[in-house]
Amino acid sequence: MSLSKAGKSALRAALLQVRSGLTADDVEKAAELLARQALELPELSGARTVAAYVSVGREPGTRALLDALHARGVRVLLPVLLGDNDLDWGAYDGPGSLARVQHAGKMTLLEPAGDPLGKEAVVEADAVLLPGLAVDGRGMRLGRGGGSYDRVLARLERAAADPSLVVLLYDGEIVAHVPEEAHDRPVHAVVTPSGTRRFR
């Protein structure tokens, strides 16, 4: 295992440990503040299509944000996890459009129940909201290690698409340094319950 990989694993474990101590009330309060901060982003207020995700467990909550974007008339794309960890996409049409999907050996996810739009649908997004565990001052993001969003970012690059890349985190998850590997790409902004920080 490379030093970068080992460093990522150690940082990931430490951050997940902190998240595991959050109460349902902590998560709910943070989600409301996060939605409020994110909705003020020019990158989102001017977007016609936003690729987002449905938060699970103690991830920073996205449900209020998804509903607010949908209510604004924004086309919201949500991921559908494929067997090889790549992502297809589906449209979000409100809470009733989600289905609970149990992936073998992985967590249960809420995914769009409608027809899949294809892996390339994400290239139409004006902004992409990324899950993560941390970001550093350069905008380097630490994901969960499954590689799903590394493939999304590579797909955007191949298509010469340039959406705003925004990671949603808790306060305290902006760290001094995220170890990086050759495939890692920086994000443009991070939104936490207490504010926004830009990197470009």
Annotated binding site: 8-12, 54, 59, 141-149
Residue numbers belonging to the annotated binding site for substrate: 54, 59
Indicate the length of the chain as a whole number.
200
Residues 52 and 130: their CA atoms lie apart, in Å, by 7
Between the alpha carbon of residue 48 and those of residues 42, 71, 103, the distances in Å are 12, 12, 31
Residue numbers belonging to the annotated binding site for ATP: 8-12, 141-149
E strand intervals along the chain: 49-51, 75-81, 87-91, 98-102, 108-112, 127-130, 134-136, 141-142, 164-168, 174-175, 189-192, 195-198
The answer to whether 86 and 148 are in contact (CB under 8 A) is yes
